[in-house]
Chains A and B, each alone.
Chain A
Amino acid sequence: MGQDNFMTQKRNLSLPTTAAAGNGRAFVGGGRGALRGKHVQKTFNNIKITILCGFVTILVLRGTIGIGSLGSSDALNQNLIEETNRILAEIRSDSDPIDPNDPPEPDVNPNTTYSLGPKILNWDSDRRNWLEGNPEFPSYVNGKPKVLLLTGSPPNPCDNPMGDHYLLKAVKNKIDYCRIHGIEIVYNMAHLDKELAGYWAKLPMIRRLMLSHPEVEWIWWMDSDALFTDMVFQVPLSKYSKHNLVIHGYPDLLFDQKSWIALNTGSFLFRNCQWSLDLLDAWAPMGPKGPIRDEAGKILTANLKGRPAFEADDQSALIYLLISRQDKWMDKVYVENSYYLHGFWAGLVDRYEEMIDKYHPGLGDERWPFVTHFVGCKPCGSYGDYPVERCLRSMERAFNFADNQVLKLYGFGHRGLLSPKIKRVRNETATPLEYVDKFNIRRASHSL
């Protein structure tokens, strides 16, 4: 109220001036126009601060939040992103264009025993005849038997991109070892038998390769999550002249404790012979997916120590087979543990620096493991059995540990076991061959 009085006072004060101005003018209309103009001006004065504030607010908000969906270029980007993601999702899905002309595939009859293929009876003599008839494809080259390394991964992208990256690094690691030691690689990305998918997929592939390549003496299966960490060590195949299956494990765990991890089927060698075909035939029946695999899983959990309850896997099935038919199979099986044909990663990866300090490549055992196998990490899936950071860190270290042995010939090494970058460890020279003679692993192993 006091305010009103004040305002009216102000108005009273202003009026006389207007009136005075109006008096100064001849026309009454002119006076009224001037009054309106002044009115407008006053209003403007009052709200100019408001306008200024509004303007600045808009500027500030635009500066922080941005125009958002008002911008057309943003909408375009959004469309592009959505389109790309749709394509990526399609690629990563397991779906396949279904051909309507394809006959529906028959289900496996649970009453008949599953078979990998027609029974072959004379493989040893057939193979010997073939080798005699084809001397240009010998099974022994320079005294060394021909070995084929088989590995593989699923045909679709991994659930996460890190998985594919480590599959790529693992295959590079295997390429390096096999180039140095003259071993051929077959990288399988096809499910030859849809019944035996997953970890069982190796069985039909091993059989197929044995039968198609009679010149191959040994087939070496290696999991995609196993890395070579000793580039110099060679499998002493002459030790196994009387055996047909070489697998890493512990006999006491196998026969006394019947443990489900007594052997490891992540890295093993099969001789190309009739015995191996027979073993594969005896091994396969627990594999076909569905009720057979589930039931078999229950049997295995009941009979093997420490096995959790899940569907039958190839490792437990092999252990069970070898335990229950010991008399039939064990005389040709070599359970190897004098070197790490399979080395469980958890106990090894933290010791690499110590190994570099104290030992040297070529030992293959706990001092310098031949193979570091990342069981349980499952980088290709979404979830592993171990913390991701530990797994990936360890895999990177193992890869670099092995890569350093390969790069040594070229005078380079990684800048730390966790670094993807390399540094020079030996200066360039104009006579490189003296170092080649010193550091070439292949040359050294040849002269052995």
Chain B
Amino acid sequence: MMERCLGAYRWRRMQRAFRQFKVTIICLLLTIVVLRGTIGAGKFGTPEQDYLEIRDHLIHTSRKRAEPHRVLEEVQPQQTMASDSSSSGGGGSATTNSYTEFDINTILKDEEPDDKPDPNKPYSLGPKISDWDEQRATWLKENPQFPNFIGPNKPRVLLVTGSSPKPCENPVGDHYLLKSIKNKIDYCRLHGVEVFYNMALLDAEMAGFWAKLPLIRKLLLSHPEIEFLWWMDSDAMFTDMAFEVPWERYRDSNFVMHGWNEMVYDEKNWIGLNTGSFLLRNCQWSLDILDSWAPMGPKGKVREEAGKILTRELKNRPVFEADDQSAMVYLLATQRDKWGDKVYLENAYYLHGYWGILVDRYEEMIENYHPGLGDHRWPLVTHFVGCKPCGKFGDYPVERCLKQMDRAFNFGDNQILQMYGFTHKSLASRRVKRVRNETSNPLEVKDELGLLHPAFKAVKVSSS
């Protein structure tokens, strides 16, 4: 037929040409396909988008599958789902009233760029101060209304904790941070301790676990009335509301951490002490140890190299960048004569209590013991090391971590609620129930633990 149209000779020529060029044509087609695959074809989308659309369409029927994807990922504008909340379209428009589709990063913005530190200058926390003890003593004398001791054996203490100023990656992370700070507020209210919740990164060089060092130094220098600074990680919770730290025991010490002397000085074990909960006195010695502690911290090459040294020198340490805890073990083990006499490694009570060995025993503790002990029978602090509730991934299964954090929170909260005649229905429950009836003579009722008006909160009575 074609031949009749064009003529046999022409047709033959065309066929020959076609045969010769078929490879070329196929290659051209392939190129177009590949380009469409990578760059996309404008409104036709890429094959991946097609695939997603098809998948979503199939999933549409079983809605449950689609929802979880949205939960774990950061809230992203939904481009493909043509479902219920279509009012906002894509990208969190300015008029939506729904919080579930909003991306906070669209509003946060820095107005100034980061400072670039001078790579040649060795890192320092600040200008060297050599006479802090004298400066502070003078200030305290001039300001008698801010004594550093608020009771005969009670120093003024500032509890410092903190978290990132950006929302957690884990959708329930902020909720656990909130519960954790409530727990600390409760303990500190009972014990007359002030709280500082930090949400500012003071020094971009010392980010991550090292961020506490510049903060601690800054707070010590800005609050000369503070006698002790108590650093506590955001994943640590108070579980003994009645235990008062034995301040007289640390009369001659400047740095109190939970740990064991043998594990630090003899074994050089990297978990020989814990820097998740420690006390630091406000004095020249503390400024000096902070200055000696800091050099392994600056991020980048310094921290990486320091990490290698620490892994080599310390027992059982895995390979990762330098962290503040390992650096402290190394510092104490290598310079014991310089620092050791003022460091108290406490293990008579759980100034830091590793959660793994404690959380399953709460019911047993409630049966057999009572608050006020602070040790393995009723731990002062339960520290959820490795759980990282604010991040997406921790070292332990999510379910165990979060459920146990709830239990620890309720365990501590029960001691607060019992002051008011309530308790949680169970260690896993958020609901509370009454355990003491209301009376018309509330002042005659004493709470069991004596926490409403405890001795350690009593104000000095001036003899008149």
Binding site for B on A (CB under 8 A): 1-3, 6, 49, 53, 56-57, 60-61, 63-66, 68, 81-85, 87-89, 91-92, 96-97, 99, 102, 117-121, 126-127, 130, 134-138, 141-142, 153, 155-165, 167-169, 171-172, 175-176, 179, 184-187, 189-192, 208-209, 211-215, 379, 381-390, 392-393, 396, 403, 407, 409-412, 415-416, 418-423, 428-433, 435-436, 440, 443, 446
B396-425 with Cβ < 8 A to chain A:
398-399, 402, 406, 413, 417, 419-422, 425
Contacts of B82 in A (CB 8 A): none
Contact call A430/B127, Cβ cutoff below 8 A: yes
Name A68's closest neighbour in chain B (CB-CB): B51
User: Do B33 and A158 touch across chains, with their CB atoms under 8 A apart?
Assistant: no
The answer to whether A96 and B429 touch (CB under 8 A), given A213-B452, A383-B98, is yes
Given contacts A171-B181, A420-B166, could you give 14 more A-B pairs where the C-beta distance is less than 8 Å? A49-B23, A53-B30, A91-B406, A120-B442, A137-B457, A176-B197, A179-B196, A184-B189, A212-B420, A416-B109, A420-B199, A432-B129, A440-B222, A446-B145
B-side interface residues, number (CB < 8 Å): 114
Interface window among B65-73, B299-307, B367-375: B65-73
Partner of A388, one of B98, B145, B194, B202: B98
By beta carbon, the residue of chain B nearest A130 is B443
- The reply to whether A162 and B26 form a contact with Cβ atoms under 8 Å apart is no
Give a binary string over B179-202; 1 marks a CB under 8 Å from any A CB, 0 the rest: 101100110010000111101111
B95 within 8 A of A: yes
Contact call A186/B197, Cβ cutoff below 8 A: no
Contact of B108 among A56, A387, A418, A440 (CB under 8 A): A418
CB distance from B25 to the nearest CB of A (A): 10
Contact across chains for A384 and B8 when beta carbons are under 8 A apart: no
A161 contacts across to B, CB distance below 8 A: 167-168, 171-174
List of A residues within 8 angstroms of B34 by Cβ: 60
Residues of A within 8 A of B99 (CB): 159-160, 162-163, 379, 381-384, 388
Contact A162 B452 (CB under 8 A): no
In the complex, the answer to whether A118 meets B439 with C-beta atoms within 8 Å is yes
A187 to B188, CA, bound (A): 12
Query: B110 contacts A422, CB within 8 Å?
Result: no
A-B contact pairs, 18 of them (CB 8 A): A64-B38, A97-B426, A121-B440, A142-B145, A156-B430, A161-B168, A162-B99, A162-B104, A168-B178, A171-B181, A175-B181, A383-B98, A388-B98, A392-B102, A410-B218, A419-B110, A423-B112, A443-B143
Q: Which residues of B contact A135 (CB under 8 A)?
A: 461
Given A138-B459, A161-B172, CB of A396 within 8 Å of CB of B107: yes
A190 near B426 with CB under 8 A, answer no
Chain B: minimal CB distance from A190 (Å): 5
B102, A388: Cβ atoms under 8 Å?
A: yes
Q: Do residues A208 and B167 form an inter-chain contact, with CB atoms below 8 A?
A: no
* Chain B residues within an 8 Å CB radius of A85: 67-68, 71-72
Q: Which residues of B contact A3 (CB under 8 A)?
A: 15
Is there an interface contact between A187 and B72, defined as CB atoms closer than 8 Å? no
Q: Which listed residue, A82, A157, A169, A440, touches B172 by the CB 8 Å rule?
A: A157
Is B450 part of the binding interface, using a Cβ–Cβ cutoff of 8 Å?
A: no
Q: Are A416 and B111 in contact (CB under 8 A)?
A: yes
Which residue of the partner chain A has the closest CB to B218? Answer: A410
Are A65 and B174 CB-contacts (below 8 A) given A165-B167, A172-B199? no
CB distance from A397 to the nearest CB of B (A): 9
**By the criterion CB–CB under 8 Å, are A409 and B426 in contact?**
no
A96-B430, A192-B432, A385-B97 known; A88 and B171 CB under 8 Å? yes
Judge whether A155 and B177 touch: CB under 8 Å. no
Whether the Cβ atoms of A160 and B100 lie closer than 8 Å is yes
Query: Which B98-129 residues have a C-beta within 8 angstroms of A?
Result: 98-100, 102, 104, 106-112, 114-115, 126-129
Closest A residue to B33 using CB positions = A60
* Given A64-B46, A433-B139, A141-B459 contact (CB < 8 Å): yes
B224 within 8 A of partner (CB): yes
Known: A87-B399, A138-B459. A388 touches B97 (CB 8 A): yes
Assess whether B167 is in contact with A60, with CB atoms less than 8 Å apart: no
User: Complex formed: what's the CA distance from A209 to B201 in Å?
Assistant: 37
Complex contacts, A169 vs chain B, CB 8 Å: 199
Nearest B residue (CB) for A431: B135
Q: How far is the CA of A8 from the CA of B333 in the complex (A)?
A: 94
Contact between B459 and A136, CB atoms less than 8 A apart: yes
Contact partners of B111 in chain A: CB under 8 A: 415-416, 418-419
Contacts of A419 in B (CB 8 A): 108-112
Residues of B within 8 A of A (CB): 3, 8, 11-12, 15, 22-23, 26, 30, 33-34, 37-38, 46-48, 51, 67-69, 71-72, 92, 94-100, 102, 104, 106-112, 114-115, 126-129, 135-136, 139, 143, 145-146, 163, 165-168, 171-175, 177-179, 181-182, 185-186, 189, 194-197, 199-202, 218-219, 221-224, 398-399, 402, 406, 413, 417, 419-422, 425-426, 428-433, 438-443, 452-453, 457-461
Residue of B nearest to A137 (CB): B453
Q: B443 contacts A389, CB within 8 Å?
A: no
Q: Are the C-beta atoms of A91 and B172 separated by less than 8 Å?
A: yes
Contact partners of B196 in chain A: CB under 8 A: 175, 179
Say whether A382 contacts B98, CB under 8 Å.
Answer: yes
Partner of A179, one of B168, B195, B452: B195
**Would you give the shortest CB distance from B172 to chain A, in whole angstroms?**
5
Nearest CB in chain B to that of A116: its residue: B438
Min CB gap B308→A, angstroms: 30
Q: Is the CB of A412 within 8 A of B202?
A: yes
Nearest Cβ distance between residue B429 and chain A, in whole angstroms?
Answer: 5
With a cutoff of 8 Å between Cβ atoms, the chain A residues found around residue B222 in the complex are: 409-410, 432, 435-436, 440
Min CB–CB distance B125 → chain A (angstroms): 9
Shortest CB-to-CB span from A434 to chain B, Å, is 10
A127 to B100, CA, bound (A): 49
Chain A residues near B104 (CB-CB < 8 A): 162, 165, 392
A160–B200 Cα distance when bound, in Å, is 24
A132 to B97, CA, bound (A): 54
Given A65-B48, A142-B145, A416-B109, are A192 and B422 also a contact pair (CB < 8 Å)?
A: yes
Least CB separation from A121: chain B residue = B440
**CB-nearest residue of chain A relative to B215?**
A410
- Cβ contacts under 8 Å, B453 to chain A: 134, 137, 215
Residue with the greatest number of chain B CB neighbours at <10 A, chosen from A87, A138, A403, A429: A87
CB distance from A191 to the nearest CB of B (A): 7
Known: A137-B458, A392-B104, A433-B135. A99 touches B425 (CB 8 A): yes
For residue B115, which residues in chain A have a CB less than 8 angstroms away from its CB?
A: 423
Distance between Cα atoms of A263 and B258 in the complex (Å): 52
Most buried by B among A57, A168, A403: A168
Contacts of A214 on B, CB cut-off 8 Å? 443
Instruction: Report whether A383 and B97 are in contact in the complex, using a CB–CB cutoff of 8 Å.
Output: yes
Q: Distance in Å from the Cβ of B464 to the closest Cβ of chain A? A: 10
B426 touches A388 (CB 8 A): no
Contact of A165 among B174, B417, B429, B439 (CB under 8 A): B174
Indicate which residue in A53, A126, A157, A407 contacts B26 across the interface (CB closer than 8 Å). A53
Q: Which of B406, B419, B438 contacts A117 (CB 8 A)?
A: B438
Which residue of A is nearest B419, CB measured? A212
CA distance A187 to B181 in the complex (A): 9
